Amino acid sequence: MKLFINGSCHCEANEFRVEVDNPSLPVSDSLCHCNVCRHATGQIAARFAQIVGVPLERIYETGSRGGSENGDEEDNGSGLKVAITPSSENGFLAPPVIEIDYPKDSFNLGGLTAYKSSSDVTRYFCSSCSSHLFRVQHTVHGDRWGVAVGSLEKGGRVSKISSHIWVRDTLDGGLADHLTAIDGVRVSRYEGALGSKELRHPWKHDSLLSTSQSSGNDSLKARCHCGSIQFTITRPSEASFEPFAPFPDLLFSHLYSHLSKISNPKDTKWWLCPAASPNPSKYLAGHCLCNVCRLNSGFAIQSWAFVPLVNIVQGDSSNPLSLDDGDGRPMHLKQYITSTGNYREFCDICGATAFSWQAAVPSLISVSVGLLDEAENGARAENWLEWHKTRIGFQESAQDQSLARGLLEGLAQA
């Protein structure tokens, strides 16, 4: 039986459907931790599920139901051809045989930006909102299309994470240390591709275990895959205490907490760690499973680090990052408004998510963790970031509740 799943980006400029292999549902897929996926998407890990053939145009059922009582085939105005054939069994009237011929028009990629991340892989993301939708692997046997699972309407039902791949690129285990099992089933951890050497848990590369590794380095570099967006994060300073910001859902549920609590009446500098320290050395980081992040990126898990704008400088310079229109704004940093007063910034060349910020709090920026340079600190950058482990942003409304539970359980053990 054929099964078609609808999907879209956040701005809905690109609405599509894909065909999946129904007998094998849920499809087993992997979270990829390779340096290319992380820096090309901005995510701490990327997840694509293989589809049958190519992406297809979305079908919008309009007009009459179509079909006729005499077995003729009719078009209902949506491109669906419905054939209803009367049938009988042993001389008695039996239920009719209904056959629906779904048109298979290839999806128009005109609203997407193509980025060739390597000689054999092309990625497609929405030119407007940056949502990664497709990845194509060019092989000697033809193109193999994969869809970003977060863009699907029923992503959690269609595919299930069974493994972490290319974990060695993270140097510290990356997200694999936070997601060890789903529904009680262990998620395998492979050094490289699927089926390669399995890594123990927890695992760190020898370079991060050496005695020369110091948590005192005063700058943390970050970049997208194409290199158009590069910036440096500096250690907390006196100026880092200046922003005033309400608590994020990561710390207190916006669904169940009183507004008087969320509004942060005591002006807690919650983004600085250790908490309440007069000399903080790290920033708060955490995962978000909200539907805005999911559709805006194409992936279910969006990982953010909360950093004052004053602590972000462009490239290796001392010039502060500017998100305002003008000369100080990076050339290829494109802005998308998710809702009134809420902004996302992404690379318009490779599509990597870079920042999220609010007009009400322009001095505090959410930095997409997948951009951080793993070379000195690992993908989780634990010398710089303190990961929140008792809650995930918007966990109650996560599309995939099994994933949310697995992530919470893994964080509790990390």
In this structure, of 91-105, 168-182, 208-222, the range with the lowest mean pLDDT score is 91-105
- CB within 8 Å of 216: residues ≥ 6 apart: none
The model's confidence at residue 78, banded by pLDDT at 50, 70 and 90, is very low
**Which 3 state secondary structure label does DSSP give 248?**
coil
DSSP secondary structure letters along 309-347: GGGEEETTSSPBP--SSSTTS-TTEEEEEEETTEEEEEE
- Which residue, 284, 283, 286, 282, is CA-closest to 303? 286
pLDDT digits (tens, 9 = 90+) for 63-73: 433 444 444 44
Question: Between these two residues, 202 and 364, which has the higher pLDDT value?
Answer: 364
Q: Are strands 272-273 and 27-32 parallel, antiparallel or unpaired?
A: unpaired
How does residue 198 score in pLDDT terms, banded at 50, 70 and 90? very high
Lowest-pLDDT range of 62-71, 106-115, 224-233: 62-71
Domain range annotation of the chain: 2-58+106-189, 214-413
Integer Cα distance of 43 and 46 in angstroms? 6
Q: What is the pLDDT of residue 156?
A: 80
Stronger pLDDT, 292 or 328, i.e. the higher one: 292
Relative to beta strand 188-189, strand 159-165 is: parallel
Q: Which of 66-80, 198-212, 329-343 has the lowest mean pLDDT?
A: 66-80
Q: What's residue 25's pLDDT?
A: 77
**Is 70 exceeded by the pLDDT of residue 211?**
no
284 pLDDT more than 50? yes
Q: Which of 25-29, 159-163, 190-194, 281-285 has the lowest mean pLDDT?
A: 25-29
According to the model, what pLDDT value does residue 215 have? 54
Distance CA 172, CA 164 (A): 13
Say if residue 407's pLDDT is above 60: yes
Rounded mean pLDDT of the chain? 90
**Does residue 283 contact residue 384 with C-beta atoms inside 8 Å?**
yes
CATH 3.20.20.70 fits 2-58+106-189, yes or no: no
Q: What is the mean pLDDT of residues 10-21?
A: 94
The confidence score (pLDDT) of residue 77 equals 44
| pLDDT tens-digit map of 346-369 | 999 999 999 999 999 999 999 999
Task: Name the class of domain 214-413.
Answer: mainly beta
Query: Which pLDDT score is estimated for 261?
Result: 96
Is residue 343 within 8 A of residue 358, CB to CB? The reply is yes
Closest alpha carbon to 363 in 400, 323, 396, 406: 323
pLDDT confidence tier of residue 2, bands split at 50, 70 and 90? confident
pLDDT of 96 reads 64
pLDDT at 104: 78
Mean of pLDDT values over 54-82: 57
pLDDT at 83 over 90: no
**What is the reported pLDDT for 303?**
98
Looking at residue 72, its pLDDT comes to 45
pLDDT at res. 375: 93
Query: For a pLDDT cut of 90, what percent of the chain falls above it?
Result: 77
Q: Are strands 230-234 and 312-314 parallel, antiparallel or unpaired?
A: antiparallel
- Answer with the residue of higher pLDDT: 25 or 414: 414
Strand, helix or coil for residue 125: strand
pTM greater than 0.75: yes
Q: Is the predicted pLDDT of residue 90 greater than 80, yes or no?
A: no
Asked whether the domain spanning 214-413 has the same topology as the one spanning 2-58+106-189, the reply is yes
pLDDT at 177: 97
Environment class of residue 138 by beta-carbon count within 10 Å: exposed (0-12), middle (13-18) or buried (19+)? middle
pLDDT the model gives residue 71: 43
